[in-house]
Amino acid sequence: MKRKPSTEATAAWIRLMRIQGSVLDAVEQDLKKAGFPPLAWYDALLELSRAPSGEMRPVELEKQMLIPQYSTSRLIDRLVDEGLAARRECKIDKRGQFVEITEAGRELQKKMWSAYSAAIEKHFGSKLSDADALKLCGLLDRLGCSCDEAPALAPREGAPTR
Amino acid sequence: MKRKPSTEATAAWIRLMRIQGSVLDAVEQDLKKAGFPPLAWYDALLELSRAPSGEMRPVELEKQMLIPQYSTSRLIDRLVDEGLAARRECKIDKRGQFVEITEAGRELQKKMWSAYSAAIEKHFGSKLSDADALKLCGLLDRLGCSCDEAPALAPREGAPTR
DNA sequence: TCAAGATTGATGCAGGTGCATTTATTGGGC
DNA sequence: GCCCAATAAATGCACCTGCATCAATCTTGA
């Protein structure tokens, strides 16, 4: 009788957990050493900068980033504190609000992308051929939870994370 | 001129980060809902249970688990508090100590593996053929940092994480 | 129209994590 | 033998996260 998670699946699981962790760690360390804030900030700024008018509802941001509501709320707090984003009132729904990226926010996002993309290349891209990367995409996509799956996985620039 | 991290590499990066996050999350939720402690506890108990005499140095544990020193120290605190492990003095090096898994620790590790393996199968294994799993292993292994790479990636049972 | 329930966002609290530092001990060079 | 750098482990502090809950507002349906 076959084992429930096959030996192969278990081996792949272990690697997925370990390798992702160490590669992400290496990238975040590079960013931190370059004096940049955490990647979550980048992800948020990227999403905001992509929004048609540079602003979006916290709920939207939350869905895009796959992070819990309170986490979004506090992340926005920090961005606002640093002048990277601003809260705008939402006239059509007084419970809510809009968050708008500032000029400083756009600039930081761009600067971070320089460092971030370099780190991705160094710790990840340089170790795979494009063909390998495509294979990896294919395999990982098969794991995509039936659930949401962030809509616009950006064929453009900048890589959101997590 | 080619982009630095190719489009393919960037796409793979995004998926690696997002999919790993959501799958790990799903698995941890299952474990938590079943009333079990965090996966890190399981990993530690697994490592300890595998040690020849059921005990190892914190430093060893730290290297196996790829977590920082202080993190290991506190994890051991919690395991000891719960009676899952015990600190033993180390006669050959009085700076150090040995951590020994208790019977309760071994039992918890086994119970957790039932739930953990089921969750791996549900959220991961069932979505990949064995051949796919092997391909995924191969691709991920290419990313292994030149650094350590936890030695015994256990061809046995139980999957360590992160 | 109005009450019940759903949705948006914030927050108090407990616990976890990273960083830097501290304490104890070891080992190496002189 | 003695001093100093290196190693083992713990810990104080600031910050971050998850959970539960709250207040405000919107929506639905009788």
> What tens digit of pLDDT does each residue of A97-114 get?
999 999 999 999 999 999
The pLDDT of residue A159 is 60
Protein-proximal positions, strand C, CB < 7 A: 7-12, 16-20, 24-27
pTM: 0.87
Judging by DSSP bridges, how do beta strands A55-56 and B97-101 pair with one another? unpaired
List, for residues B36-71, the tens digit of each pLDDT value. Answer: 999 999 999 999 999 988 889 999 999 999 999 999
Q: Is the CB of A59 under 7 A from strand C?
A: yes
| A57 and A98 Cβ atoms separated by less than 8 Å | yes
d(CA B23, CA B127): 11
Instruction: Name which of A7, A15, A31, A121 to mutate to probe chain B: the one with the most chain B Cβ atoms within 10 A of its Cβ.
Output: A15
Report residue B74 as tokens. 């506190």
Which residues on B lie below 8 Å from A11 (Cβ)?
133-134, 137, 153
H or E stretch covering A17? helix A7-33
Protein residue minimizing CA–C1' distance to D27: A93
> Would the Cβ of A97 be found within 7 angstroms of any atom in strand C?
yes
Which two structure tokens, joined as six digits, stand for A33? 């050493």
Q: How confident is the model at residue A149 (pLDDT cuts 50, 70, 90)?
A: very low
Q: Would you call B120 and A9 a contact, using CB atoms and an 8 Å cutoff?
A: yes
pLDDT at B162 over 90: no
B contacts of A133 (beta carbons < 8 Å) = 6, 8-9, 11-12
Nucleotides of D under 7 A from a protein CB: 7-12, 16-21, 23-27
pLDDT digits (tens, 9 = 90+) for B16-28: 999 999 999 999 9
Alpha-carbon distances, residue A140 vs A134, B13, B16, B98 (angstroms): 10, 10, 7, 40
pLDDT category of residue B148 using cuts at 50, 70 and 90? very low
